[in-house]
């Protein structure tokens, strides 16, 4: 009896293969042939589910975004819960840390994300999806700052639009440095920088 193949599961498996190849060898090696070999499929099977490399890359970017967003949602629900107790700054650090390369899984995700960002310069079909990912991160940062401001945790008079961009840029910079120089920029230093930045937003009267 022929094996019944779930198209959604097969597309998922192919996208996973793209991310593995990109993490191990770089996105430039994620050809249809290499991805098919990684997934243990015939190249014709990959072409059955994806019209070409562009469609496959767009789907793989979406899968990467889905993984990151699913992890962040859990922490966001805790941080943004009005009834939540405990150290708000540490809950904020835990939430924002989910976007940073603090362990092997997140380092791999960050390296692959940076590969997609670099590839998008020559592959415009990737730009819209990557722009949505960045907009999602900016929105998360903005929500965090709004809630902190409402709770009185921020210094008065801050321009939250500017502070959103500043914190988002800090996260991007930490990600880039940690991926490029993992022996120089480790998890403890990343968390310390993030805590120091959040303290600076609290103003002198609330620091310490």
Q: pLDDT tens digits for 166-177?
A: 999 999 999 999
153: tokens are 């945790």
Q: pLDDT tens digits for 4-63?
A: 667 888 888 999 999 999 988 888 888 899 999 999 999 998 898 888 888 999 999 999
Helix axes 187-202, 88-97, angle to 10 degrees: 130
> Mean pLDDT for the chain?
88
In the numeric block, the tokens 């929500």 are attached to: 143
What is the model's pTM?
A: 0.85
Structural domains in the chain, CATH included, are 1-50 (1.10.10.60), 58-202 (1.10.357.10)
């Amino acid at each position: 009896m022929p094996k019944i193949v779930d198209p959604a599961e097969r597309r998922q498996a192919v996208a996973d293969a793209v991310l593995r190849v990109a993490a191990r060898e770089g996105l430039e090696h994620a050809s249809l042939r290499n991805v098919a070999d990684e997934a243990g499929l015939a190249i014709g099977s990959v072409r059955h589910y994806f019209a070409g490399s562009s469609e496959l890359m767009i789907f793989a970017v979406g899968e990467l975004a889905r993984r990151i967003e699913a992890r962040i949602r859990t922490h966001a629900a805790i941080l943004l819960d009005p009834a939540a107790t405990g150290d708000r700054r540490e809950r904020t650090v835990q939430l924002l840390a989910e976007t940073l390369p603090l362990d092997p899984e997140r380092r791999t995700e960050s390296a692959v994300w940076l590969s997609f960002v670099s590839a998008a310069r020559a592959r415009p079909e990737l730009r819209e999806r990557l722009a949505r990912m960045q907009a999602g991160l900016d929105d998360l940062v903005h929500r965090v700052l709004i809630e902190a401001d409402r709770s009185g945790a921020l210094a008065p008079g801050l321009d939250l639009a500017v502070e959103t961009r500043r914190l988002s840029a800090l996260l991007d910079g930490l990600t880039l440095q940690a991926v490029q120089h993992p022996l120089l920029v480790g998890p403890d230093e990343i968390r310390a920088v993030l805590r120091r930045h959040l303290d600076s937003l609290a103003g002198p009267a609330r620091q310490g």
